[in-house]
């Protein structure tokens, strides 16, 4: 049972779609699937902008989302408070962009006024783009993208968003908030295996694309956009992953966006309440937890031992901490194809694990009771 922030669990009818024979990607049959998938991707992304599919992981989607709109030496503001946000500064540097940074300590949300201040200090509009991570998976913190996007719109730079663990988990109304480029990956909220990256592109971003001079070929979004208009792709796509995507999008439509967001919110609340009731400290502060993942910073037990017992005794895989958080936190993923029963199971197994490890901070059963209270409310 995977409770990590990607790859996430895959429903059986999606697995069955993967098991089909591949078909020719230049066939009419495949074009029909592309048309269906493209329309449903626009629905999921709440946008009229292009939603392009690339055969890449989430990082590839972000790289494509960054390199298509700038020229060497262009200044970009990278806003970061965790491992993924830091990566976008590294990508920008690798492509010879002039990187300025606004940060918050790991485990804390970005204060939108710090972004506003950095943009106010740029009256000449040297900053061409602002890169923001919405749900910072490494720490389980969600950033206030709506407010940050307002400050970026007021300045006029492009806003490029890592929505890898927020898309399909929490409301990201791309058109309403005016988000120029939004990137995500298939193994997160999409309920399909790794391998597809998604990038949305606004008309304003396409204007920037026309004059952008960073080198690009496989990641050049122009051919993907031309292809999408004809329900095709510039290169051989992972045909079976697209079958899987079609099946997953159908399930999402049947559930409904509001319901999907409500489910992730409920799972976040139940997990956080249970962790607190077990006497374990949450890593992300109240009101700033990600609906995709809950990070826990235990003090009475070893985070890696918790993961090890959960895996060995209960076959539940939790994520560990990255970089400086290694051994300090464990992370419970509740993203994508997760139901209330999965949360109760994970919490019950965690309580049993804690008692095996000699944790004395909470009354046995208190975690399950706290989760159940929220799940049955």
Ligand X SMILES: *Cc1c(COP(=O)(O)O)cnc(C)c1O
**Which parts are annotated binding residues for substrate?**
331
Residues in the chain: 377
Note whether 281 and 297 are within 8 A (CB). yes
The CB-of-103 to ligand X minimum distance in angstroms stands at 16
Q: Which is nearer to ligand X, 5 or 129 (CB)?
A: 5
Identify the H or E element spanning 99. Answer: strand 98-103
Residue 84 makes contact with ligand X by CB under 6 A: yes
Which span (15-23, 89-97, 133-141, 249-257) binds ligand X, by CB under 6 A?
A: 133-141
Q: Which is nearer to ligand X, 58 or 107 (CB)?
A: 58
CA dihedral 108, 114, 119, 121 (to 10 degrees): -140
Pairing of strands 50-54, 197-201: antiparallel
Binding test (CB under 6 A) with ligand X, winner from 2, 3, 4, 6: 6
Round to whole Å and give the CA distance between 375 and 368.
10
Residue 196 makes contact with ligand X by CB under 6 A: no
Both tokens of 166, joined, read: 């927020």
Alpha helices in the chain (DSSP H): 12-18, 28-45, 58-67, 83-94, 112-120, 145-155, 174-177, 203-211, 221-229, 239-255, 257-277, 303-314, 340-356, 366-375
Q: Which is nearer to ligand X, 5 or 237 (CB)?
A: 5
Residue 290 makes contact with ligand X by CB under 6 A: no
Residue 294 makes contact with ligand X by CB under 6 A: no
Phi-psi domain of 287 (left: phi exceeds 0; alpha: psi -120 through 50; beta: other)? left
The CB-of-348 to ligand X minimum distance in angstroms stands at 26
Q: Which is nearer to ligand X, 6 or 362 (CB)?
A: 6
The CB-of-243 to ligand X minimum distance in angstroms stands at 20
Number of residues that bind ligand X (CB under 6 A): 13
Both tokens of 194, joined, read: 């790794």
Question: What residues does 331 pair with on adjacent strands?
Answer: 295, 319
Question: What residues does 185 pair with on adjacent strands?
Answer: 197
Q: Which is nearer to ligand X, 163 or 347 (CB)?
A: 163
Round to whole Å and give the CA distance between 155 and 124.
10
Residues in CB range of 217: below 8 A, 6 or more apart: none
Q: Which is nearer to ligand X, 108 or 353 (CB)?
A: 108
Residue 139 makes contact with ligand X by CB under 6 A: no
Residue 140 makes contact with ligand X by CB under 6 A: no
Q: Hey, which residues between 30 and 49 contact ligand X (CB under 6 A)?
A: none
Pairing of strands 181-185, 197-201: antiparallel
The CB-of-61 to ligand X minimum distance in angstroms stands at 8
Spell out, one character per residue from 160 to 189, where the chain touches ligand X: x when CB under 6 A holds, - when not.
--x-xx-------------------x----
Residue 137 makes contact with ligand X by CB under 6 A: yes
Binding test (CB under 6 A) with ligand X, winner from 2, 5, 77, 272: 5
Note whether 241 and 33 are within 8 A (CB). no
The CB-of-139 to ligand X minimum distance in angstroms stands at 10
Spell out, one character per residue from 86 to 125, where the chain touches ligand X: x when CB under 6 A holds, - when not.
----------------------------------------
The CB-of-83 to ligand X minimum distance in angstroms stands at 8
Measured between alpha carbons, how far apart are the two ends of the chain, in Å? 26
Using a 10 angstrom Cβ sphere, with 0-12 exposed, 13-18 middle and 19 or more buried, the burial of residue 212 is middle
Residue 350 makes contact with ligand X by CB under 6 A: no
Round to whole Å and give the CA distance between 28 and 307.
48
The CB-of-130 to ligand X minimum distance in angstroms stands at 16
Known binding-site residues equal: 331
The CB-of-57 to ligand X minimum distance in angstroms stands at 3
Q: Which is nearer to ligand X, 4 or 33 (CB)?
A: 4
Where do contacts with ligand X occur on this chain (CB under 6 A)? 5-6, 57-59, 84, 133, 135, 137, 162, 164-165, 185
């Amino acid at each position: 049972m995977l409770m990590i922030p990607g790859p996430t669990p895959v429903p059986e009818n999606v697995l069955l779609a993967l098991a089909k024979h591949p078909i020719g990607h230049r066939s009419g049959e495949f074009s029909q699937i592309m048309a269906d998938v493209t329309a449903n991707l626009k629905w999921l992304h709440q946008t009229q902008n292009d939603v392009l599919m690339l055969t890449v992981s989430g990082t590839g989607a972000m790289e494509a989302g960054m390199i298509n709109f700038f020229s060497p030496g262009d200044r970009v503001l990278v806003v970061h408070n965790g491992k993924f946000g830091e990566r976008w500064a590294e990508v920008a540097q690798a492509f010879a962009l002039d990187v300025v940074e606004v940060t918050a300590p790991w485990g804390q949300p970005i204060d939108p006024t710090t972004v506003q201040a950095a943009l106010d200090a740029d009256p000449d509009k040297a900053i061409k783009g602002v890169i923001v991570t919405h749900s910072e998976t490494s720490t389980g913190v969600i950033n206030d993208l709506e407010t940050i996007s307002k400050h970026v719109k007021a300045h006029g730079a492009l806003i490029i968003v890592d929505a890898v663990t927020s898309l399909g988990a929490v409301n990201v109304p791309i058109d309403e908030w005016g988000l120029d480029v939004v990137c995500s990956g298939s193994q997160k909220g999409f309920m399909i295996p790794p391998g597809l990256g998604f990038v949305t592109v606004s008309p304003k971003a396409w204007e920037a694309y026309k004059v952008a001079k960073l080198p690009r070929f496989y990641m050049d979004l122009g051919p993907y956009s031309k292809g999408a208009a004809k329900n095709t792709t510039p290169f051989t796509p992972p045909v079976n992953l697209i079958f899987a995507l079609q099946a997953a999008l159908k399930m999402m439509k049947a559930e409904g966006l509001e319901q999907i967001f409500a489910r992730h919110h409920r799972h976040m609340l139940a997990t956080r309440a249970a962790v607190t009731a077990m006497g374990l400290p949450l890593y992300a502060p109240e009101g700033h937890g990600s609906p995709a993942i809950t990070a826990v910073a235990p003090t009475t037990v070893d985070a890696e031992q918790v993961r090890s017992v959960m895996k060995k005794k209960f076959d539940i895989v939790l994520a560990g901490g990255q970089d400086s958080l290694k051994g300090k936190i464990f992370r419970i993923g509740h993203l994508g194809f997760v139901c209330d029963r999965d949360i109760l199971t994970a919490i019950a197994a965690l309580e049993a694990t804690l008692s095996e490890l000699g944790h004395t901070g909470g009354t046995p059963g208190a975690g399950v009771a706290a989760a159940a209270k929220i799940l049955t409310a």
